[in-house]
C-alpha cells in the first residue's frame, strides 16, 4: 500500500518481490518519493531563493536519472512488456518537468504524454493495478488535471476516485497524506506559474 507521495519505513527497492515490480520501477518510485518529500518539506520556504534552487536542482537530478533509464521501446528488452514500468517512467517524467519548469501538471502534460501514458497504463489489467494501488494513484495523479478534456478523461477521474476510496477503506491516514501532498505540489506549481506571468 506504499505511495510515493508519503514517507514509508520501507523503500520500493526492498519490496520488488512483494509488489512484483522490476528494480528499475522501484528506482523510479524511490527517486520520486525522495523528490516529493523534499518538495513538501520546503514548500513553505517558497520565498527563499536558496531553497527553490535546491529543489529545482534535486528535480533535475531525478529527471536525469529517469532519462538514463531504458524507455522500454526496444522489443528485445524485458522492459518492453512491462507496462507498469513504462507508466511510472512517463508519470515521473511529467512530475519532474512540472517541478523543474514550475508549471502546473495540466499545462506541462502534453497530448503525447497523455497518449503514451494511456497506451501503457491501460495495458495493465485493473486487477493488477488493484495489487499496487499506491503506484496506480501515483500514475493517475500525474495526468488527472491534464486528462480532463481528453476522451478518456472521465474514466481517468473515475479510476482516481475508485483508487483513493479503495486505499482509504483501510488506510485513510495514508491516502489523506498522499492527497495533501498532491494538493501542496499543485499549489506550489501554480504559485510559480503565476509569478512568471
Q: What are the domain boundaries of the chain?
A: 12-196
Determine the pLDDT at residue 42: 78
Model confidence pTM above 0.85: yes
Determine the pLDDT at residue 147: 84
Q: What tens digit of pLDDT does each residue of 108-147 get?
A: 999 899 989 989 999 999 999 999 999 999 999 999 988 8
Q: Is 106 exposed, middle or buried (0-12, 13-18, 19+ CB in 10 A)?
A: middle
Q: What tens digit of pLDDT does each residue of 14-26 get?
A: 999 999 999 999 9
Task: Provide CB contacts within 8 A for 22, sequence distance 6+.
Answer: 16, 78, 79, 82, 85
Percent of the chain with pLDDT over 70: 95
Q: Please, are residues 89 and 66 in contact by the beta-carbon 8 Å criterion? A: yes
Determine the pLDDT at residue 102: 92
2: left (phi over 0), alpha (psi -120 to 50) or beta: beta
Whether the pLDDT of residue 67 is over 80: the answer is yes
Task: Check residues 95 and 43 and name the one with the higher pLDDT.
Answer: 95
Exposure string of 2-17, with b = 16+ CB inside 10 Å and e = fewer, is bbbbbebeeebeebbe
Q: Please, are residues 16 and 28 in contact by the beta-carbon 8 Å criterion? A: no
Residue 129: φ, ψ to 5°: -60, -35
Query: To the nearest 10°, the Cα dihedral for 72, 68, 115, 188?
Result: 150
Amino acid at each position: 500500500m506504499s505511495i510515493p507521495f508519503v514517507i514509508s519505513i520501507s523503500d520500493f527497492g526492498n519490496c520488488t518481490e512483494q509488489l512484483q515490480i522490476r528494480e528499475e520501477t522501484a528506482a523510479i518510485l524511490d527517486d520520486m518519493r525522495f523528490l516529493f518529500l523534499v518538495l513538501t518539506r520546503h514548500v513553505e520556504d517558497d520565498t527563499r531563493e536558496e531553497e527553490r534552487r535546491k529543489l529545482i536542482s534535486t528535480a533535475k537530478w531525478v529527471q536525469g536519472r529517469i532519462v538514463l533509464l531504458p524507455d522500454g521501446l526496444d522489443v528485445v528488452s524485458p522492459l518492453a512488456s512491462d507496462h507498469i514500468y513504462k507508466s511510472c517512467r512517463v508519470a515521473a517524467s511529467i512530475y519532474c518537468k512540472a517541478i523543474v519548469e514550475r508549471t502546473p501538471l495540466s499545462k506541462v502534460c502534453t497530448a503525447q504524454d497523455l497518449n503514451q501514458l494511456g497506451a501503457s497504463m491501460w495495458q495493465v489489467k485493473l486487477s493488477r493495478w488493484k495489487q499496487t494501488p499506491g503506484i496506480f494513484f501515483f500514475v493517475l495523479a500525474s495526468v488527472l488535471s491534464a486528462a480532463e478534456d481528453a476522451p478518456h478523461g472521465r474514466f481517468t477521474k473515475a479510476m482516481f476516485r475508485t483508487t483513493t476510496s479503495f486505499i482509504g477503506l483501510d488506510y485513510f491516514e495514508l491516502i489523506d497524506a498522499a492527497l495533501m501532498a498532491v494538493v501542496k505540489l499543485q499549489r506550489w506549481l501554480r504559485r510559480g506559474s503565476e509569478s512568471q506571468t
